[in-house]
Structure 1
Amino acid sequence: MTQTEIYQFIQDNTLLSASLWVNIALAGFSILLFVYMGRKVEDPRAQLIFVAAMMVPLVSISSYTGLVSGITVGFLEMPSGHALAGMGAGPEGGVFTPWGRYLTWAFSTPMILIALGLLAGTNLSKLFTAVAADVGMCVTGLAAAMTTSSYLLRWVWYGISCAFFVVVLYILLAEWSRDAELAGTAEIFDTLKILTVVLWLGYPIVWGLGAEGLALIQSPAVTSWAYSGMDIVAKYLFAFLLLRWVVDNERTVADMAPGLGPATRTGTAPADD
């Protein structure tokens, strides 16, 4: 299919199209709101948290514009053994595959982790590990979605992606929670941590149940709204809650140990592991 035909397919499906345009509108609004919220922030660490959080809607508005334009969307023929092998939602067959979403996640979710890591006052080793595992999760997730040679290999890639996800979850739930206690940001960090973990768990579930996985949910519009709905909360609402707290508690952020690493109870910063 040509890009024009893909674009027309999206526009003809009102529910599918709306799931993309709503995100574009909310991303644009979030950018303006966050710029306004951060206009008086002066502490360097607080400013860096703002920059990381700002990148989330900036990446999203670019990515969703690519999706609605048909640039980062394709129709893939599923391998033998898949429930939709030999059929699909496209006018010429094939399963609707918005592979551009994985680009969104590969660039936006590391920004979310950087913002959370800075909030927790974690060290550079943990921050790098979390971001590297997150990128690995997104890239292997893309491989799972794009593999058409073998149904088994789609699930192998899915399993590898989930393994990277486990690393991210461990750092969020175990390592950074302890760091946030020392940094004095545990209350807001715990709220954002739970929000992030619960919503991020939804993405592999939707993948497994949707047309790319078991195809129990075959409607591209329903799947798109599931992803878009999670994006709205996990990105824009998350960033708003984070930045509002930073604005109200800039002194707490400024009093954290310089560099990356929480202050200990005696006021000294531990060396990176």
Structure 2
Amino acid sequence: MIHPDQVAEMLYSRTATSTHTHTPGPIPTVIPSPTHYQTAGETGHRTLWVLFAGMSLFSAAFALLSWRVPVSRRIYHVTSTLVPIISALAYFAMASGQASAFNCETVRDSHKHVPDTFHDVCRQVYWARYVNWALTTPLVLLNLCLLAGIDGAHTLMALLANLIMILSGLFAAFGAERTAQKWGWFTIACLSYLFVIWHVGLHGTRMVKAKGARVSRLFATLASYTLILWTIYPIVWAITTLARRTSVDTEILIYAVLDVLSQPVLLLWLLVSHRAIAETNIELPGYWSQGLSSEGRIRIGDDE
């Protein structure tokens, strides 16, 4: 049997539970995250200085090689020497802390019981890299066009398409994330690259056959090598600059390797092969090697 006191105790506990009021807890608060900056670290800065020194050494080596070649046949050496010089200046600007800017995008922070907050993520973009490519890649293409014997019309169109490709990449790097700016410019850059391939790769393959089998093989090898490297660039660019999937240091390291392979290594390969194949020689007489002629000029004040 249940004791009367136990019944009274049970009724009291139920009454106390039903009449108890819960006091509200503290309202959760969220402090917005500060702006996050993605910048180059010690590894990136050290890599930039190493590339500046390396490109300077390649410039000196190419200049020494050109002294052993007659001026009339020095077109490959002149263009090849200019490439590492320009690249060295660009890497000096980047290594010394210049030639960069921040591209910021707004990121949403989701929370469970309170409204979402937002913060900015600003990534360091080296615009000197695009200036470097805008000046050096046309010189590389010019060498390939001269090697294949491509006519001036296709050469000019290839250089213009290449310039549009580089500038589109620069505009995409600073474009807004949530608009069509970034991927729109990226698409324009890829289409321009296809025009470069058509004018240099496909048209050059037909034109170089007139120079013989040795020059054809050399052009096919150098053009394929360039095509592979230049195809890697937009892939890396989309992963690092556009999607921001890597750190700035990793981006610097990858581009450093690609720049060395696509600039001094490629051009050194061309110069060494050029010396061994006589059919690649290009004679540029006249103003290129002898200057303007003084014949036919009227000198005021000379004795008759």
- TM-score class, shorter-chain normalisation, is 0.7 to 0.9
Q: Give the aligned residue type for 1:152.
A: A
Structure 2 Cα separation of the partners of residues 145 and 173 of structure 1:
27
- The residue number in structure 2 matching 1:52 is 79
* Identity score, percent: 25
- The residue number in structure 2 matching 1:203 is 233
Q: Where do 5+ consecutive residues of structure 2 fail to align? A: 1-38, 109-117, 286-304
Does residue 214 (structure 1) correspond to residue 259 (structure 2)? The answer is no
Maintained 8 Å contact 2:104/2:120: yes
Structure possessing the higher relative contact order (Cα contacts under 8 Å, 6 or more residues apart): 1
- The residue number in structure 2 matching 1:26 is 54
Give the superposition deviation at 1:19.
2.3
Does residue 138 (structure 1) correspond to residue 171 (structure 2)? The answer is no
Which of structure 1's runs of 4+ aligned residues deviate more than 6 A?
255-258
Among 200, 206, 229, the residue aligned to 2:257: 229
Q: Give the aligned residue type for 1:213.
A: L
- The residue number in structure 2 matching 1:71 is 98
Q: Give the aligned residue type for 2:164.
A: G
Give the superposition deviation at 1:54.
1.2
Maintained 8 Å contact 2:66/2:78: no
Structure 2 Cα separation of the partners of residues 29 and 257 of structure 1:
28
Does residue 190 (structure 1) correspond to residue 220 (structure 2)? The answer is yes
Give the superposition deviation at 1:152.
2.4
- The residue number in structure 2 matching 1:39 is 67
Structure 2 Cα separation of the partners of residues 101 and 256 of structure 1:
33
Does residue 128 (structure 1) correspond to residue 153 (structure 2)? The answer is no
Give the superposition deviation at 1:36.
1.7
Structure 1 Cα separation of the partners of residues 232 and 105 of structure 2:
23
Q: Where do 5+ consecutive residues of structure 1 fail to align? A: 1-8, 89-93, 259-273
Task: Name the structure with the higher strand share.
Answer: 2
Structure 2 Cα separation of the partners of residues 255 and 229 of structure 1:
31
Q: Give the aligned residue type for 2:129.
A: R
Are the structure 2 counterparts of residues 149 and 191 from structure 1 closer, same or farther at C-alpha, using a change threshold of 3 Å? closer
Are the structure 2 counterparts of residues 80 and 152 from structure 1 closer, same or farther at C-alpha, using a change threshold of 3 Å? farther
What TM-score comes out, normalization by structure 2 length?
0.73
Structure 2 Cα separation of the partners of residues 133 and 79 of structure 1:
33
Maintained 8 Å contact 2:148/2:219: yes
Maintained 8 Å contact 1:37/1:244: no
Structure 1 Cα separation of the partners of residues 107 and 166 of structure 2:
25
Structure 2 Cα separation of the partners of residues 35 and 169 of structure 1:
30
User: What RMSD, in angstroms, separates the aligned Cα atoms of the two structures?
Assistant: 2.3
Q: Give the aligned residue type for 2:97.
A: G
Structure 1 Cα separation of the partners of residues 228 and 177 of structure 2:
32
Give the superposition deviation at 1:157.
0.6
Q: Which moved further from structure 2: 143-152 or 174-183?
A: 143-152
- The residue number in structure 2 matching 1:267 is none
What TM-score comes out, normalization by structure 1 length?
0.80
For the residue of structure 2 that corresponds to 1:234, the secondary structure is: helix
Structure 1 Cα separation of the partners of residues 71 and 149 of structure 2:
14
- The residue number in structure 1 matching 2:25 is none
Maintained 8 Å contact 1:57/1:236: yes
